[in-house]
Amino acid sequence: GAVVSQHPSWVICKSGTSVKIECRSLDFQATTMFWYRQFPKQSLMLMATSNEGSKATYEQGVEKDKFLINHASLTLSTLTVTSAHPEDSSFYICSAPHGLAQETQYFGPGTRLLVL
């Protein structure tokens, strides 16, 4: 149990276009999901907390107008990178809490974005 999927697994796009990444909890419901960004050989940086039915909460320094988050249902959160630029190229990972105390995060496999 506790499987989180992401789609697509990788995407290449032209500079200036928008890219949508989906995060789904496959066998459980998640009112909260988290979006991270991981640079090569570095740790995960939390970008935002996605809340079902309300606005996302962004970490300091993360542009909310650039990284649009929509938590459409109890099993789906989407991250849209708007007007992508090469510096947005990265590995984007989502997670969702699950378990008795909701304290364990289950991670999606990640989406690698390359902006040309």
Binding site residues, another protein, CB under 8 A: 6, 32, 34, 41-44, 46, 49, 93, 95, 97, 101-110
Are 110 and 6 in contact by the 8 Å Cβ rule? The answer is yes
Dihedral, 67, 90, 60, 3 alpha carbons, nearest 10:
80
Are 89 and 81 in contact by the 8 Å Cβ rule? The answer is no
* CB of residue 16 to another protein, shortest distance in Å: 28
* Residue number, 39 or 72, with CB nearest to another protein: 39
* CB of residue 43 to another protein, shortest distance in Å: 5
* CB of residue 115 to another protein, shortest distance in Å: 20
Structure tokens at 42: 């570095």
